[in-house]
């Protein structure tokens, strides 16, 4: 079983500039401090891949483990867990075509949209389902925080 959480935010920055920022884990990951701690482990043998140790501050526990980050995508990054909490994560930058509702009446604003998605997999049946549903809410709030931190840094702090 798995639970998926998503967050997205409009960023007042051309998509190409934002992509250049978020596709560099050494630049982007230290910004999302509320999300977790990130430590570079090594560059993986495959081109465009890096191994990082991640620790998520989720509720009363720290979750995480070692992940392999794929930076070869042109519009963002993905990672998958190698050990520890089984999960995947993706961060994608697209042109803003007015897809964020509630901001500027959904009309095109220019700039870009930063989308984050995390999928968590737990073993078990009923208890795993309850834990996943609870975890999905926590994950969504963490993703929203990460998205806002990246947006603020990209717009004002570079």
Residues at the site binding another protein, with contacts judged by CB under 8 A: 34-35, 57, 59-60, 134, 137-138, 141-142, 144-145, 147-149, 151-152, 155-156
Q: Which is nearer to another protein, 56 or 70 (CB)?
A: 56
104 sits in which H/E element = none
Residue 122 or 145: the one with the smaller Cβ distance to another protein is: 145
Q: Which is nearer to another protein, 36 or 70 (CB)?
A: 36
Q: Minimal distance in Å, beta carbon 148 to another protein?
A: 4
Greatest extent of the chain over all pairs of C-alpha atoms, in Å: 46
In whole angstroms, the minimum distance from the beta carbon of 34 to another protein comes to 4
Distance CA 50, CA 117 (A): 19
As a whole number of angstroms, the distance between CA 119 and CA 96 comes to 24
In degrees, rounded to 5, the angle at the alpha carbon of residue 33 between the alpha carbons of residues 156 and 98 is 50
- Minimum distance from residue 109 beta carbon to another protein (Å): 13
CB 55 within 8 A of CB 64: yes
Report, in Å, the least distance between residue 144 CB and another protein.
5
Nearer to another protein, 128 or 138 (CB): 138
- Nearest 5 degrees, angle CA 105-CA 110-CA 112? 100
């Amino acid at each position: 079983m798995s639970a998926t959480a998503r967050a997205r935010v409009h960023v007042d920055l051309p998509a190409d500039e934002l992509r250049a920022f978020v596709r560099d884990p050494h630049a982007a990951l230290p910004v999302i401090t509320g999300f977790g701690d990130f430590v570079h482990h090594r560059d993986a043998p495959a081109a465009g891949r890096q191994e990082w140790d991640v620790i998520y501050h989720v509720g009363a526990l720290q979750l995480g483990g070692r992940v392999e980050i794929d930076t070869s995508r042109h519009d963002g990054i993905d990672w998958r867990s190698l050990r520890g909490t089984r999960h995947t994560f993706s961060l994608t930058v697209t042109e803003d075509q007015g897809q964020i509702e509630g901001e500027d009446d959904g009309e095109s604003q220019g700039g870009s949209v930063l989308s984050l998605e995390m999928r968590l997999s737990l073993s078990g049946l009923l208890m795993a389902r309850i834990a996943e549903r609870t975890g999905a809410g926590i994950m969504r709030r963490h993703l929203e925080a990460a998205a806002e931190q990246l947006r603020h840094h990209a717009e004002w702090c570079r």
